[in-house]
Structure 1
Amino acid sequence: MTTLGTASAAPGEIDTGRLEIGETRDGTTVGLPCAVVEGASDGQTLYVQAASDGDELNGIGVLNRVIPQVDPAVLSGTVLAVGIVNYHGFQIAEHRNPIDDTKMNRAYPGNESGTSSERIAAVTFAAAKRADLILDLHQGSTSQMIDEVRVRCGRRHRLHDECLGLAKTFGCGYVFDQKGPNGQLARVAPDEGIPTVDPELGGCIGWDGESIDIGVRGVFNVLREYGFLEGTVSKSRQTRARGFDQYGSPAGGLIQFEAELGERIKTGDVLFEVTDIFGELKARITADNDGVFWRSRRLPQVATGEYVCSVGTSVDSY
């Protein structure tokens, strides 16, 4: 019998429940939606979570489709899932936890006696540490972004190769391989000996069906490659970036992009132009380095110094 919060499943069973993380301001108990899929035979444990950023919904879409498709009768091992980590941010479609104005994916490993975000991080990290592999599902907030997987432990970490292998198995096509900020689950969990990656499933407002499809395929790739389910994975070469060049606007106005997501960029290529409201050119921005056009703002209007786009640099394939 495997239990996560109020979800409890015997071999060959699936159950859903709630993982308690505290109370709201009126004293109501708050529980994160969670699931246990307990395979009929022994095996490893996979932990998957979504929406640690409250407006990043594609990961929820992935779990919404994956969990009903995983048949515990043919599963070897266990899948533990937390469907919405940033409960408070999700309720109001905000990126950060509004209770303490914190980005949840900077709060790990958490603190059982700390702030709201630290307490949620502590509870979910305790669940994640029970696993042999971790997938922390994200997306590019409301920016437009390619589908990628982030390896955040750092290239000198003892688990780097294992995390990179997990990213390749997930198979979005693109990998960002750079040590992440303190407090990220994909940065902290490898220190516990658990290969962990952070799939960034595109970027949208609401649901993006294509990115959700990629995420569903990625989770099943992992389940098959690591022996949870029968079947083999045909792993393709991934395009890897090991750095970012980020570009802001030198002037206020309207953005016109001259590059498309995923496009290979050469030094000096025009990335975007800024015009005034009536179309008069104010600025033309070119690439500082070779790379891949990785991410861009969604809305055309921009103020001086405001973020516009990113180019993935130090690109190779593996």
Structure 2
Amino acid sequence: MVTLGTASAAPGEVDTGRLEVGETRDGSAVGLPVAVVNGVDDGRTLYIQAASDGDELNGVGVVRRVLPRLDPAELSGTILVCGIVNYHAFQVAEHRNPIDDTKMNRAYPGDHSGTSSERIAAATFDAAISADLVLDLHQGSTSRMIDEVRVRCGSRHRLHSDCLELAKVFGCGHILDQKGPDGQLARAAPDEGVPTIDPELGGCVGWDESSIQRGVDGVFNVLTYYDFLDGRHDSRPQTRATGFEQYGSPVGGLVDLQVDLGDRVSRGETLFEVTDVFGRTKAEITADSNGIFWRARRLPQVATGEYVCSVGTNIDTY
């Protein structure tokens, strides 16, 4: 019998339930939606979670498509799922937990006696480190972004090669291999010996069908490669960036992007221009390095210093 919260499944069974993480302001219990798929045969354990940031919904879209397709009679091992991590932010369609104004993916490994976010992080961290592999499904918030997978443990980490292999198997096409900030699940779980990646499935407001499908394909790539399911998986070469440059606007105005997501850019190439409301150019921003146009803001209006776009640099094929 495998249990996650109130979900409990014997071999060959599927169950759903709730993982209790505290109470709301009116004293009602808060339970994260969880599922256990327990295969008929022994094997590894995979933990999947989504909506660590409350407005990043593509991962939820992946979960709701993957789970109905999983037949425990055909599965070796166990799959644990938390469908919505940042419960409070999800309810109000915000990025950060409004109870404590915290970005959940900076709170790991959490604290069972701490703030709302720390308690949620602690509960989901316990589930994550009980597994052999972890997929923490994200997206580029509401910005526009390519589909990519992030390896956040750092190149000197003892599990770096395992995390990088998992990212390649997931197969979004692009990998950002750069050590992440403290408090990320993909930083904290490898310290406990569990290879973990952070697929960033595009960026949108609401659903993005192509990115969701890319995530579904990625999950099944992992399931076949690591022998949860029968099938042959061929890992395709991925374009990897080990650097990441962000560009803000030196002036206020309206942004005209000069390149598209996924384009190769050269040092000195124009990334964007900023005009006033009458169309007069105020600034032209060029790339500092060769790379790939990775991410961009969605709205055209910017203030001085406001984020506009990012370029992945130090590109190779892995």
* TM-score normalised per structure 2: 0.99
2:109 matches 1:109? yes
Deviations along 1:162-187, one digit per CA (max 9) or x if unpaired, are 00000000000000001110000000
Aligned equivalent of 2:194: 194
Where does 1:37-52 land on structure 2 (aligned, <5 Å)? Answer: 37-52=37-52
Aligned equivalent of 2:308: 308
Task: Give the Cα–Cα distance (whole angstroms) in 1 for the partners of residues 46 and 104 of structure 2.
Answer: 21
Aligned equivalent of 1:150: 150
User: The residue matched to 1:315 in structure 2 has which SS?
Assistant: strand
- Which blocks of at least 5 consecutive residues in structure 2 are unaligned? none
Runs of 4+ in 1 over 3 A off after TM superposition: none
Task: Give the Cα–Cα distance (whole angstroms) in 1 for the partners of residues 267 and 129 of structure 2.
Answer: 43
Deviations along 1:189-247, one digit per CA (max 9) or x if unpaired, are 00111000000000000000000000000000000000000001121110111111111
Task: Give the Cα–Cα distance (whole angstroms) in 2 for the partners of residues 59 and 314 of structure 1.
Answer: 28
Deviations along 1:49-91, one digit per CA (max 9) or x if unpaired, are 0001000000000000001101110000000000000000000
Aligned equivalent of 2:36: 36
2:271 alignment partner AA: L
2:27 matches 1:23? no
Deviations along 1:267-291, one digit per CA (max 9) or x if unpaired, are 0111001011111111111101000
Task: Give the Cα–Cα distance (whole angstroms) in 1 for the partners of residues 250 and 27 of structure 2.
Answer: 48
Aligned equivalent of 2:136: 136
Task: Give the Cα–Cα distance (whole angstroms) in 2 for the partners of residues 288 and 121 of structure 1.
Answer: 37
Shift of 1:125: 0.5
Task: Give the Cα–Cα distance (whole angstroms) in 2 for the partners of residues 172 and 244 of structure 1.
Answer: 18
Task: Give the Cα–Cα distance (whole angstroms) in 1 for the partners of residues 71 and 41 of structure 2.
Answer: 12
User: The residue matched to 1:134 in structure 2 has which SS?
Assistant: strand
Shift of 1:5: 0.7
Deviations along 1:76-112, one digit per CA (max 9) or x if unpaired, are 0000000000000000001000110000000000001
2:234 matches 1:206? no
Aligned residues: 318
Task: Give the Cα–Cα distance (whole angstroms) in 2 for the partners of residues 42 and 234 of structure 1.
Answer: 23
Task: Give the Cα–Cα distance (whole angstroms) in 2 for the partners of residues 134 and 245 of structure 1.
Answer: 27
User: The residue matched to 2:11 in structure 1 has which SS?
Assistant: coil
Shift of 1:138: 0.2
Where does 1:269-308 land on structure 2 (aligned, <5 Å)? Answer: 269-308=269-308
User: The residue matched to 1:78 in structure 2 has which SS?
Assistant: strand
Shift of 1:129: 1.1
Aligned equivalent of 1:221: 221
Aligned equivalent of 2:236: 236
Task: Give the Cα–Cα distance (whole angstroms) in 1 for the partners of residues 227 and 258 of structure 2.
Answer: 44
Shift of 1:12: 0.8
Task: Give the Cα–Cα distance (whole angstroms) in 2 for the partners of residues 232 and 146 of structure 1.
Answer: 27
Shift of 1:250: 1.1
Aligned equivalent of 1:122: 122
1:114 alignment partner AA: G
Task: Give the Cα–Cα distance (whole angstroms) in 2 for the partners of residues 298 and 229 of structure 1.
Answer: 39
1:210 alignment partner AA: S
Task: Give the Cα–Cα distance (whole angstroms) in 1 for the partners of residues 111 and 305 of structure 2.
Answer: 36
Aligned equivalent of 2:265: 265
Shift of 1:311: 0.4
2:272 alignment partner AA: F
Task: Give the Cα–Cα distance (whole angstroms) in 2 for the partners of residues 2 and 164 of structure 1.
Answer: 28
Task: Give the Cα–Cα distance (whole angstroms) in 1 for the partners of residues 272 and 110 of structure 2.
Answer: 40
2:170 matches 1:184? no
Task: Give the Cα–Cα distance (whole angstroms) in 1 for the partners of residues 298 and 269 of structure 2.
Answer: 21
1:277 alignment partner AA: V
User: The residue matched to 2:228 in structure 1 has which SS?
Assistant: coil
2:66 alignment partner AA: V
Task: Give the Cα–Cα distance (whole angstroms) in 1 for the partners of residues 180 and 304 of structure 2.
Answer: 28
Task: Give the Cα–Cα distance (whole angstroms) in 2 for the partners of residues 125 and 267 of structure 1.
Answer: 41
**RMSD across aligned positions (CA):** 0.5
User: The residue matched to 1:242 in structure 2 has which SS?
Assistant: strand
Task: Give the Cα–Cα distance (whole angstroms) in 2 for the partners of residues 254 and 51 of structure 1.
Answer: 31
1:12 alignment partner AA: G
1:26 alignment partner AA: D
Task: Give the Cα–Cα distance (whole angstroms) in 1 for the partners of residues 303 and 31 of structure 2.
Answer: 40
Task: Give the Cα–Cα distance (whole angstroms) in 1 for the partners of residues 232 and 253 of structure 2.
Answer: 50
1:119 alignment partner AA: R
Task: Give the Cα–Cα distance (whole angstroms) in 2 for the partners of residues 233 and 209 of structure 1.
Answer: 23
